Amino acid sequence: MDYQQTLDYLFGQLPMYQRIGAAAYKADLNTTIELCKHLGNPEQTFPSIHVAGTNGKGSVSHTIASILQEQGLKTGLATSPHLKDFRERVKINGSMIPRDVVSGFVAEHRSYFDTIKPSFFEMTMGLSFDWFARQKVDVAVIETGMGGRLDSSNVVRPVLTIITNIGLDHMQFLGSTPREIAVEKSGIIKQGIPLVIGRRQTEIHDIFESAAVKCQSPLFVASDHFKVTGDHFKVTGSAVQVENGLELRAMEVEHQGVKHQYLTDLMGDYQAENILTVLQAMKTLRLPDGKKVSENAVREGLRKVIANTGLAGRWQQLMTNPRVICDSGHNTDGIRRILAQLQSLPHDQLRIVFGMVEDKERKEILKMLPRNAVYYFCRPSVMRGLEANKLAMDASLFGLNGNTYDSVQDALTSAREDASPNDLIYVGGSTFVVSEVV
């Protein structure tokens, strides 16, 4: 099979959560375990860092990978979902897995896949593990797809486990309360392996504490040890510095009474929490040779996350006059943070290009959105995409009004045509909406 035929096979024949939702979900790791055994258990051949959480796990994974690259390590990075190209899910030192490797992997193992019928994510995890093993990576950063305990990535035995935070998302699979979801996420904690929690959440912390004690895992909470001093994550203002034509935000953090300033090419206020998680993780991590990550690698890795890893879709500015911002946040916690930062930016009229997928708790999100914005409702072009008319009807119950469009691009074009230079356009609601504009 050539690469396009391989993609057709991946997206057309294997169940895949981002296309069909619940039907792709599996309630055990048996198939993943069998697949890894068939591949020779490649996941056991390299040290890994396992990252879970409701929000921020993608940014944290990419930032850690950037830092480890700056440390001089050959670093694998397995993340999901992708925005434009399937190969974004599997990278080594920022380079996507080659097309012929993807095609060759599927061709070599297709008869086995047809026998055990792995899910899309199970097969992608197998591909990641196999490629990292063949390329002899020094370390790999593995992001969970959804949840933790039953996630296909949970066959690794990492050297460090990270859980960024807990919010309400994928509730049809993980539970309807933060405590139920925390139990699922805590399922990635491994015996004796250090655990870093990004944000202390008092209502659920006992779950992580109990799991860590049971597993004899040293527990570190980033928000207990680091704090941001000052308001440094605005897109505009005195904290913005320009270096090599890139906007860099300065973040000053305090640790044990000593203030340190870091620069990062990541945008978005919410990245402050993610970076504190990363700083705690890098302080906790011991490399395969027993050494600690150098302070220089931390600073350079933070400064070049996007350059080193290609991270996109997180508070990404697409254009100016009018300013157009897109962000892949798609649950209540993520949307709340996005809206707060949007309101902090100077603008005349806020225009929102918005689309969602069928299985999200959309009414909880819609009731958070501002009534004084102008809306452009659209349907992302995936099977789970929610019809724009249905979204607009639900939105009207919360006083949100606007027109509907057949595509994300049509909606954005209309918003730009309607906007004055001082207006602000936000594109979001779903990763799949953002993928069509970046």
pLDDT digits (tens, 9 = 90+) for 116-130: 988 888 999 999 999
Beta bridge partners of 325: 317, 426
Instruction: Give CA–CA dist 358/393, Å, rounded.
Output: 14
Which of 317, 180, 313 minimizes the C-alpha distance to 236? 317
Percent pLDDT > 90 in the chain is 66
pLDDT digits (tens, 9 = 90+) for 278-319: 999 999 999 878 889 999 999 999 999 999 999 999 999 999
- Binned at pLDDT 50, 70 and 90, residue 258 comes out as confident
Residue 245: predicted pLDDT: 45
Asked if pLDDT for residue 147 goes beyond 50, the answer is yes
Query: Is the CATH number 3.40.50.10190 carried by domain 316-434?
Result: no
The strand pair at 350-354 and 424-428 is best described as parallel
Whether the CA torsion 416, 418, 423, 424 is positive or negative: it is: negative
Instruction: Give CA–CA dist 9/427, Å, rounded.
Output: 31
- Do 242 and 27 meet the contact criterion of CB atoms below 8 Å apart? no
Tokens of 420: 């004055």
Which residue in this structure is represented by tokens 């959309």?
A: 362
- Do 164 and 54 meet the contact criterion of CB atoms below 8 Å apart? yes
The strand pair at 160-163 and 48-52 is best described as parallel
Would you call 93 helix, strand, or coil by DSSP?
coil
Residue 230: predicted pLDDT: 58
One-letter identity of residue 236? T
Instruction: Give CA–CA dist 434/328, Å, rounded.
Output: 6
- Do 310 and 83 meet the contact criterion of CB atoms below 8 Å apart? no
Asked if pLDDT for residue 232 goes beyond 70, the answer is no
Residue ranges of domains in the chain: 3-225+269-299, 316-434
**Which of these CATH numbers, 3.90.1200.10, 3.40.1190.10, 3.40.50.410, 3.40.50.1370, describes 3-225+269-299?**
3.40.1190.10
Identify the helix (H) or strand (E) that includes residue 307.
Answer: helix 305-309
As a residue count, the chain comes to 438
pLDDT digits (tens, 9 = 90+) for 310-324: 999 999 999 999 999
DSSP 61: H
- Do 52 and 163 meet the contact criterion of CB atoms below 8 Å apart? yes
Average pLDDT, the chain: 88
- Do 166 and 204 meet the contact criterion of CB atoms below 8 Å apart? yes
Equal fold, 3-225+269-299 vs 316-434: no
- Do 429 and 401 meet the contact criterion of CB atoms below 8 Å apart? no
**pTM score:** 0.91
Tokens of 319: 């254009």
Rounded to a whole number of angstroms, the distance between the first and last alpha carbons of the chain is 29
Q: What is the DSSP string of 145-180?
A: SS-STT-GGGG---SEEEE----S-SHHHH-SSHHH
